[in-house]
Structures are given as C-alpha cells and as structure tokens.
Structure 1
C-alpha cells in the first residue's frame, strides 16, 4: 500500500495523487454515483515533419467517418460511438496484420464532454480537438502512436488546422507523457466533482466555477490558440525500438 502511494505521488504529483485517491474513495463509498475528475487541456502544433521518418509502414491507418467503418473489436460502447458521430467526429484507426492496434478521434468545432457535463469551444477556425487516443498496451513503446499522429497531421494540414487541442485526465500520466513527447502547450485545467445529479466545476479559465443541478446545465470553456507560440520541436519524437 505504501509503495503504491509513493508511486502515485511520483507519477502524478502530490495534489493530483490526493485527488485521485479521493476519487477512488468516493466511487467505492457511493457505488459509482459520486466521482471526481481533473482534466488538463493541452494544445500541440500540427507538425510538417513526419514523426516516424518513413518507418512503421506495416501499420495501416484508416479514416473512419461512420460506425460501420470502424474495425472489429473496437473497445468502446456503441452508444458512446454513436454520440461521437452525432457530433461529426471522426476516428483514425491503426491496424496491423488485420488487428486494431490504436486509434484517435478528431472533432472540428465544439466538443461535448462525455464523462462530465461540459462543452468545450474553440475560438480559432484553425484549431480542432483530438481525444480518446488509445494504443494497445503491448504497442505503447512502438510506432503506433507516432504513426497515428503522422496521419492525423497530414489530415489537419489539408484542412488548414494549425493547432490540435486535447483534454487529458490528470490521473493518466502515460497519456500526458505521450503528448509531451511530441510537444504541447498548456491551456489550463478543470476539476469536476459529480454527486448524483449535482456537479461542481473549478477551473483555471472562465467561468472558473460552475454548479450544475441537471443534465441541461453545463459550463462552456473556450480555448483560443490564435496567439500561442510554437512549442519547441522534440529531439526524438519517435521511438526506434520496434519497426
């Protein structure tokens, strides 16, 4: 138990580790009706240079614009996928030897959060949302992640998108580290406490605080990438351990 606590603090920092522990306790005591979420909002510049330098050609990445185009074994509930397509989101799916090994989602315009009640807005037409970036666990040191982003960047450049924004759980250090490896800029953070039908939000950006008592009430957080400085290019964005 002590080792697990030390590891959590090392990975998340003391504040996020305490919030994560609080979330675990709330869920256990309430049977899942109460929960605590903390999100980090990041932006990454749409790159022109390939991350993989031509490697990873055996990983095919396909654009899936509808439910029936998704590969078999897609690890998300059908209701969640239908809601995403209703917002006009699209998925890039990475397949190797006929098996799904990773995916990410892109959304151009406003994004309705599917874990808490919140709506995310983009001030610039040259920005988009990326979310739910997933790589099969045994592939996470390989080329699946950068291959997905090579294809995503090509798609975004064709649409004149300069920045891709992400909402990442502050309790997911692996995802935060993966995004940091390809260069990100912090946009802010928000913490949500859900207690049955009630929800509280505390954020570092307007409206800063919000109380929601029913499904139709939710905060709107707006992100403007128009004045962001370009981040430094990472020295080695693509791993070299696997083909």
Structure 2
C-alpha cells in the first residue's frame, strides 16, 4: 500500500477513502463527464456567547446586496452569485487592507445546492443554512474566519436562529477533522453520482433513493432541528471548510 493511500485512509476512513479514489477515477476516465460526491450534514448550536478572544480590528465586515459589484477576483461565477441572491441568501464579506479576505453565505427556510441537484428544506423557523465558507489562503492562519463567524453568529441570533445547518464534503479531510473537534450534531449523509445529465442519489433520509435526468428534477432533503438538545456549553466555535 502506497504512503499516499495510507494517508488518505487515515484521514478519511476506509469508506470515504474508497469513494474518494473512485471519484478521481470516474472523473479521469470520463473526461470530467462523471463526478461523485458524498456529503455529511451537520447542525451547530448558535451561541449567545461571543467568540473570544476577538481580534483582527483591521478586518472590516460588510453585507453586500444583489446590486453590489463583485470584486474582480471573486472566486465564484457571477451567475452562481445571482442565483444565490434570487433564493434569498445573504452573504457576509470580510475585507482587509481594501481586499476581499473571505465570505460566508447564509439562508433560511430552503437552499438549492449549486454543486449537485438537490434542495435542502429547513422545517424549524429557528434554523438557518450556512454554506460556502471561503477565506483567502494567505489569511487562513489569521483572524478573518473568527471575525466572519462572529458576525454571522450575531446576525443569526438577532433573527432568533438557534441552529445553523450545513453540509461538508466527506472527501475534505481538514473539514472532517475540524468538525470532529467541535460540538456539531450529525444529521445524515448522502451520495451523489452525476454522469452527463443523469444524477443518482442515495441518502440516509427520505426519499433515500432518487434518479434525476434533467435540471428541473431534483430530490428534497428535509432537516428538523427543533428536537435537537442545546449543548451544555454554548461557546460556539464554528469551523471553516474554505
């Protein structure tokens, strides 16, 4: 067994490692027409307690709207951003020395995934979905993410949001490790296989299995955080998936 394979198994576990390598083989042999994704869905309690210590006074947080211009180096396509705003999403952006340093996206009620064809529905009015957390690589050892998450925490608490849900890639070792160290609640998982216009889904929640052959046909996964127990320690430390 090669050292690289050993490391992948150690970081992801046997199942996720096997699916990760399968995804690479599929992408290579199909010329990019086929792709495989495995998501793990989690929820984290939104604490009343600010993140401490809170530093990074030179980091400025803004909440741009749909009509605001994107920076030239914004790392997401303009059409994807337009669709997110059309769904009702809100973004918080971190700026440092006049340059975009990071962002996080938030949405309530429902979110249409833009990596695969699926819709996430949140049942509780006290829940939100956070997604696409990005921090500029050279800023990832600094205070950008803490400032972003503190702003997000404040924004969510003002709207009486108690739980924020998200999906993480089962192939992202750093994200898996970070989430294992904090107080998240696992909600389920799903596997998606896309080949051309076809998409197959197998999930741990209803509808469990789904086949889609066009962009306007997709499954809906429902999450209900109303029965989740608040953790004894409310000092939230949300991890960045970048």
Query: Structures share a fold, TM > 0.5?
Result: yes
* 8 Å contact from structure 1 (residues 184, 231) kept in 2: no
| Cα deviation, residue 5, structure 1 | 1.3
> Does residue 151 of the first structure (1) align with residue 151 of the second (2)?
yes
* 8 Å contact from structure 2 (residues 47, 234) kept in 1: no
| Cα deviation, residue 53, structure 1 | 2.7
> Does residue 212 of the first structure (1) align with residue 229 of the second (2)?
no
Could you say which residue in structure 2 is the equivalent of 1:24? 24
- Counterparts of 1:67 and 1:26, CA distance in 2: 39
* 8 Å contact from structure 2 (residues 149, 238) kept in 1: no
> Does residue 81 of the first structure (1) align with residue 74 of the second (2)?
no
- Equivalence map 1:107-186=2 (5 Å): 107-186=107-186
Report the more deviating stretch, 77-86 or 64-73: 64-73
- Counterparts of 1:104 and 1:236, CA distance in 2: 16
- Counterparts of 2:38 and 2:224, CA distance in 1: 20
- Counterparts of 1:179 and 1:148, CA distance in 2: 17
| Cα deviation, residue 231, structure 1 | 3.3
TM-superposition CA deviations, 1:141-172 (whole Å, max 9, x none) = 32221211100010001111111110111111
Structure 1 residues 38 and 222: CA distance shift in structure 2, 3 A = same
- Counterparts of 2:137 and 2:165, CA distance in 1: 24
Structure 1 residues 98 and 18: CA distance shift in structure 2, 3 A = same
Gaps of 5+ in 2: none
Query: Secondary structure of 1:221's match?
Result: strand
Query: Secondary structure of 2:63's match?
Result: strand
* 8 Å contact from structure 1 (residues 46, 157) kept in 2: yes
Could you say which residue in structure 1 is the equivalent of 2:52? 52
Structure 1 residues 131 and 216: CA distance shift in structure 2, 3 A = same
| Cα deviation, residue 97, structure 1 | 0.9
* 8 Å contact from structure 2 (residues 107, 129) kept in 1: yes
Could you say which residue in structure 2 is the equivalent of 1:42? 42
Report the more deviating stretch, 70-79 or 152-161: 70-79
Gaps of 5+ in 1: none
Structure 1 length normalisation: TM-score? 0.91
- Counterparts of 2:174 and 2:100, CA distance in 1: 20
Structure 1 residues 236 and 62: CA distance shift in structure 2, 3 A = closer
Structure 2 length normalisation: TM-score? 0.91
| Cα deviation, residue 173, structure 1 | 2.1
* 8 Å contact from structure 1 (residues 182, 233) kept in 2: no
Runs of 4+ in 1 over 6 A off after TM superposition: none
TM-align CA RMSD: 2.1
